Structure 1
Amino acid sequence: MPSYSRNLANDLEQSSDIRFRLADNVAFLTLDRQTESNRLTPASLAHIVQIAQSLAADPRTNCVVVSAEGVEHFSSGIFNAELRAAYSKEDILGIVKLANDAFDRLQALPQIVIGALNGAVRAGGGELALACDFRVCADHASMAFHETSYGCFPGAGAPVRLTSIVGAGRALEIIATGREVFAEEMLRTGLVTEVVASARLQDRVSTIATQMAAKAPLGLRGAKRIAQLQASAGDAAAHQLSWALRTALEYSHDVDEALAAYREKRAALYLGR
């Protein structure tokens, strides 16, 4: 672990407000700090790093759901004025670096990562949401990045990830103005794939996750690798990877198991190999 000041080191030793559980090939990562609008603490960011390290080595889990408790706030972010005053500039940069590590690891997971946005998504909370592969939101949800009002810009990936989703012009306009983007616009611009009534959000995301959990891990992970490579390296590299992975899949246990299950009219038992 990097060297931190005493204040930040003490905060990293505090208990995390992230709840984590595994159930039926789905991992659930839930923010649970409602008294502070599900703010991400240094301890919580460190916990996300640990969770991501564990999931990266998990061959059976197919899907990760990132959500938050309550119906008002997905996450208010990481900092507020009081916290900024309590930390040194070196501490601030250490926390921003930790957030980058956490969100980069989440995005790099082999599993499909779904964000369930249950309300206001702000600043670092928005950067957590953008690290998910796709997002579903409640109809009252909104997203905003207020960092430019404090002499900054979002430092944990938003200028990169938001640009890749909505394009450079719109991303710069959203970040530079700090305005709220509401559910209808999030759907229209691809920030979310679906908008549902607040009361239905958890059930809807659970349904999507259950559908993914029933699939063969190698197929889902291969599709994610190809999509990510296309975004970073273009069509030619993605096509080359696609053919290599598809060739290997043809000789996998899971493809043989899928055919056997179809013939025998039973559920397939996938092993991820």
Structure 2
Amino acid sequence: MEFENILVEVKNRIQYITINREKKLNALNRFTLAELHEALTTALADKAVGGIIITGAGKKAFVAGADIAEFGGQDAAAGKEIAQNAQTTVFDVIANASKPVIAAINGFALGGGLELALACHIRIAADSAKMGLPEVTLGLIPGYGGTQRLTQLVGRGRALEMIMTADMITAADALQFGLVNHVTFPDDLLPKADEIMEKMLTRAPLALSAAIKAINAAFTDGVNGYETEIEQFAGCFSTADFTEGVSAFLEKRKPEFKGE
């Protein structure tokens, strides 16, 4: 499929998705969100893809927010539809993906852009990146999961401060807060993302999926995370990858996992 707002490339079992609206600082309009949904669901269904790396075109921005021009003149019902549609079709798809998703934050990650990164399983930032949720300066709050996922990562106090002041933070601050996993020089950003993803792709794919489900359960209301962990742990025993992993361990060789 041809995309207008994103670039998609698959290499060495990694699907690279680049938000490609550089002149608009890669802002997320409804067309970009629709294309992201298509690219993500296709990658998750493709057995040739083991993981996904999301980044932004150019050096200035990962994603500098939602396209605010689309919000003008909308009422509460429309606002609810905007947030619900984006969360359901993109942000929750990423957070609950059965394959690892890494955000490579190459520049400004603001508003919906930071929320996109927050939905990813792992975040890596260039040392020049700046992050923030400035929605209250527009009379809004984050609507793509930001109030929830930021709080899970950095805690209630820091989340409240970031959201209510609307201040941006540096990559160094984000690392200290636990918002990002690693900070690199800009030229090392994608290589670092590749390094982490390639390591994960040597592990058992079904076990990676089970780990994501179990960890997400810790933050899901009404779900007992310990019970989910037990169920996912038990399910691994019925996979060919478990048999291969144990055999390889006992035979002192590297396992060859097939995702079965």
Structural mapping, 1:176-195, within 5 Å:
176-195=164-183
Would you say 1:24 and 2:3 are equivalent positions? no
Q: What is the aligned residue count?
A: 257
Q: Residue type matched to 2:122 in 1?
A: F
1:257 corresponds to which of 244, 250, 258 = 244
Query: What runs of 5+ residues in structure 2 fail to find an aligned partner?
Result: none
Computed over aligned residues only, the root mean square deviation of the Cα atoms, in angstroms, reads 2.4
Report the counterpart of residue 120 of structure 2 in structure 1. 132
Task: Check 1:243–1:83 CA distance in 2 against 1; reply closer, same or farther (3 A cut).
Answer: closer
1:144 corresponds to which of 125, 128, 132 = 132
Q: CA deviation at 1:138?
A: 0.5
Q: CA deviation at 1:184?
A: 1.3
Would you say 1:237 and 2:224 are equivalent positions? yes
Query: What runs of 5+ residues in structure 1 fail to find an aligned partner?
Result: 1-13
Q: CA deviation at 1:95?
A: 3.5
Structural mapping, 1:107-256, within 5 Å:
107-232=95-220, 237-256=224-243
Q: CA deviation at 1:265?
A: 6.7
CA contact (8 A) 2:63 2:110 kept: yes
Task: Check 1:218–1:15 CA distance in 2 against 1; reply closer, same or farther (3 A cut).
Answer: closer
TM-score (norm 2): 0.88
CA contact (8 A) 2:15 2:49 kept: yes
CA contact (8 A) 2:61 2:108 kept: yes
Report the counterpart of residue 63 of structure 1 in structure 2. 51
State which drifts further: 17-26 or 127-136.
17-26
Q: Residue type matched to 1:108 in 2?
A: N
Report the counterpart of residue 105 of structure 1 in structure 2. 93
Structure 2 SS opposite 1:121: strand
Query: Could you list the per-position Cα deviations for residues 120-165 of structure 1 after superposition, in whole angstroms to 9, with x for gaps in the alignment?
Result: 1111111111111120101111111111111111111111111111
TM-score (norm 1): 0.85
Partners of 2:224 and 2:81 in 1: CA distance: 35
Structural mapping, 1:80-91, within 5 Å:
80=68, 82-85=69-72, 88-89=74-75
Structure with the larger helix share: 1
Task: Check 1:153–1:233 CA distance in 2 against 1; reply closer, same or farther (3 A cut).
Answer: closer
CA contact (8 A) 1:59 1:217 kept: no
Query: Could you list the per-position Cα deviations for residues 65-88 of structure 1 after superposition, in whole angstroms to 9, with x for gaps in the alignment?
Result: 1111212111111123x5444x64
Q: Residue type matched to 1:98 in 2?
A: N
Partners of 1:223 and 1:131 in 2: CA distance: 16
Aligned residues with identical type, % of pairs: 28
Would you say 1:34 and 2:22 are equivalent positions? yes
